[in-house]
Amino acid sequence: EQRRWEDEHFHAGTLRFGARDAREKSKKAAKTYDVIMDDEIEFVQAIKMPGTMKDKDIMDKVSKKFASSRHETEDLSEAEQKRQAIEETQRSLPIFPFKGDLISAIREHQVLIIEGETGSGKTTQIPQYLHHAGFTKDGQKVGCTQPRRVAAMSVAARVSEEMGWKLGNQVGYSIRFEDCTSERTILKYMTDGMLLREFLGEPDLASYNVLIIDEAHERTLHTDVLFGLVKDIARFRPDLKLLISSATLDAQKFSEFFDDAPIFRIPGRRFPVHIYYTKAPEADYLDAAVVSVLQIHVSQPPGDVLVFLTGQEEIETANEMLLERTRKLGSKIRELIISPIYSTLPSDLQAKIFEPTPPGARKVVLATNIAETSLTIDGIVYVIDPGFSKQKSYNARTGMESLVVTPISKASSNQRAGRAGRVSAGKCFRLYTAWAYKNELEDNTVPEIQRTNLGNVVLLLKSLGINDLINFDFMDPPPHETLVLALEQLYALGALNHQGELTKLGRRMAEFPCDPMMSKMILASERYKCSKEIITIAAMLSVNNAIYYRPKDKIVHADTARQNFFRPGGDHLTLLNVFEQWAETDFSTQWCFENFVQHRSMKRARDVRDQLEGLLERVEIPVVSSPGDTIAIRKAITAGYFYHTARLTKGGQYKTVKHQQTVMVHPNSSLFEEHPRWLVYYELVFTTKEFMRQTIEIENLWLLEVAPHYYRAKDLEDGSGKKMPKMLGKAKEDLTRKY
Ligand code: CDP
Ligand code: MG
């Protein structure tokens, strides 16, 4: 069947995919089309998202000015040229004309909501404006939170460059397990989770003069909790300035929450974006995305491409697919620069996405949700939106949390499209149908607080002395049952007593920037005299999915290398083995290379491990080792993760002990073919089924030893299958009655 390109559907001249005339124009082009023709994607039904950019001249003027200033400065020094270019860029940002008004508004009001379209300069410019206006005199800090670590790092890097300072001095960032600040830091970017932890050491955040809760619209769990906390400290610290900054939409809601704080709106500048939908649903959106990139590349005028994917694995796959196909096309196409960006990408590679595209080439950025609002990459004209993101999903009944690839909301979808209209009129290709957009996407993304385990946050709030969680000032309160379940889990872990009060163990757990189960595992290593091994395992788990390297052309070798690391007992022990072998080579890069292990991830694990070692010292646990005693190690793990126990049932399936949910051993696990009776897993990932990632084999009796207040002997009878362990009735009643 011949595919037809219905040009009449499109606005004049906007889309030329596969247009026959284009194919006939040159033989070279025709050949190029033939190569990718088989799986060309058909887009239909263009709609236009109007731009706010009425006066197109503004941008033209800016770019002309930019060009001419470049010309004039030809014989200036390189540094001077760079400085001028930076200033020129700063002046061109939509926020720039409002600098004075913004500072006056901040002086006048304690709390200000700032709303401005993504890319208007909120994150990079406001802290600099504050600095110039004297808000950082006497070394007082401006703190700016980001929901994502990559954003915190890259924005800090950008701002220090703009200010001409070295990163980590006056401008710094702080993310979990990585503190790039100094005594002299006055502009501090950090993840929202890190600011939350700062409350533990400095409950009134006295060292900050201004706090910016940025990307507030993202409504991450930590940002939502921060709202309540900063609102509270603003009351008893009248000198503190509080700025809540958000992309669009939610400003009114933020204003209401912060006692009707005024809203400062930065008018957006956006060129129109044409939106295209696929004619039929795409069976494989990854493949469709790759094909669409190539279609754009061969048929569209210059401009970079931004593709939204759901995570590192997908990005790496797409990267390889693109490399393979462009290699096949060879010199028939212009250069295509592929730049991936995701949270665990090392920072030197992250910087690459901001490098200007050389003339004649085209850049394609393969990004996670991070590029939706947190990062603005200049030069994007085409957006490809498969319509998915990876989201945490939580079942408060079963307490099961997993990462699931989920359709995005309409709000997200429009944010993504908007990324195409920053530098000129753009195009957004949605890899779903117009019908799906209209009927299947929710209007807004559900705030994270309503779909995640709250154990971490509850422990933190309890450590801050906030006991009455039901009445905590949440913008959107979490479901009651989620809160109760978090209390129950913390009780089972021993972090709370039956009155719901923090125990000594709980206080020590809160010292660790880890989730409660991991903190408990680390603390339990004291009893089992294997703290050295356990912190290594904890560090390796925290870089979990990025340890092994599996190049397409060496899959067999890579898999063999991975399997050679296997240790009896399970994956945690395998991870320990990888780290220990690496340590024995004195942390050799060559060793990593030969064993298909990712050196960067290992380096990160080593950093994390060093920090955990420091924290052990703080809670006065000696670093001791029980070499080879895998039972001690596995018992310590079980002491933290006993909630995550699964048992082999008669039918040969695994079911979680508590809720009888069917779960599978991940095919990458060393236990995949072992079928032990009892397992403890680190996390669940949902792809086609619920998979347990990182599992160890345990003995059921250990559960009585490590969690006697949670499991009873009869719950753990082998083969009985049915009985579910319950928290002792009385204690649970006390807990729920109180809260
Ligand atoms: O926060 P908002 O979305 O309003 O804008 P921003 O992140 O401050 O971005 C302002 C400008 O800085 C954009 O043109 C970005 O491309 C640029 N930027 C950059 O070049 N490198 C970064 N690491 C971050 C921003
Ligand atoms: Mg921003």
**In the predicted model, what is the mean pLDDT of residues 333-351?**
85
* C-alpha–C-alpha distance, residues 168 and 175, integer Å: 12
**In the predicted model, what is the mean pLDDT of residues 601-628?**
93
Return the ligand number nearest the Cα of 115. Answer: 1
Residue whose pair of structure tokens reads 């061109």 in the numeric block: 92
* C-alpha–C-alpha distance, residues 493 and 388, integer Å: 35
Ligand 2 center–CA 120 separation, angstroms: 8
Res 6: pLDDT:
29
**In the predicted model, what is the mean pLDDT of residues 641-669?**
91
- For ligand 1, what atom is nearest to the CA of residue 157? 23
- For ligand 1, what atom is nearest to the CA of residue 154? 23
- Residue predicted with more confidence, 10 or 137: 137
Percent of the chain with pLDDT over 90: 64
Return the ligand number nearest the Cα of 160. Answer: 1
pLDDT tens digits for range 474-504:
999 999 989 998 999 999 999 999 888 999 9
**In the predicted model, what is the mean pLDDT of residues 9-29?**
34
For ligand 1, atom 8: residue with the closest CA: 121
- Residue predicted with more confidence, 546 or 525: 525
Ligand 1 center–CA 570 separation, angstroms: 45
pLDDT tens digits for range 60-77:
544 444 444 444 445 678
Percent of the chain with pLDDT over 70: 87
Ligand 2 center–CA 150 separation, angstroms: 12
Residue whose pair of structure tokens reads 């204690």 in the numeric block: 731
What's the ipTM?
0.98
Res 506: pLDDT:
96
Q: Is the pLDDT of residue 23 over 60?
A: no
Res 269: pLDDT:
78
DSSP string over 334-367? --EEEEEE-TTS-HHHHGGGGSPPPTT-EEEEEE
- For ligand 1, what atom is nearest to the CA of residue 377? 16
Instruction: Select from 149, 223, 169 the least CA-distant residue to 604.
Output: 149
- Enumerate residues lining ligand 1, CB below 6 A: 93, 116, 118-125, 154-155, 158, 354, 376, 378
Secondary structure element (H or E) that encloses residue 283, with its range: none
123-137, 307-321, 699-713 — most confident range: 123-137
Least-confidence region, from 400-414, 565-579, 614-628, 663-677: 400-414
What residues pack around ion ligand 2 (CB closer than 5 A)?
Answer: 122-123
The structure's pTM equals 0.83
- For ligand 1, what atom is nearest to the CA of residue 155? 23
**In the predicted model, what is the mean pLDDT of residues 645-661?**
90
DSSP state of 374: T
* C-alpha–C-alpha distance, residues 355 and 351, integer Å: 7
* C-alpha–C-alpha distance, residues 195 and 199, integer Å: 7
401 beta partners: 394
The SS3 call for residue 268 is coil
DSSP state of 624: -
Mutation probe of ligand 1 site: the residue of 93, 115, 158 with most atoms within 8 A of C-beta: 158
DSSP state of 93: S
Res 731: pLDDT:
47
* C-alpha–C-alpha distance, residues 547 and 540, integer Å: 8
Ligand 1 center–CA 141 separation, angstroms: 21
Ligand 1 center–CA 495 separation, angstroms: 42
- For ligand 1, what atom is nearest to the CA of residue 89? 14
pLDDT tens digits for range 548-588:
988 878 889 999 999 999 999 999 999 999 999 999 999 99
**In the predicted model, what is the mean pLDDT of residues 164-184?**
95
Question: Which contacts (CB < 8 Å, 24+ apart) does range 29-34 have?
Answer: 29/298, 31/332, 32/298, 32/329, 32/332, 32/333, 33/298
Res 688: pLDDT:
79
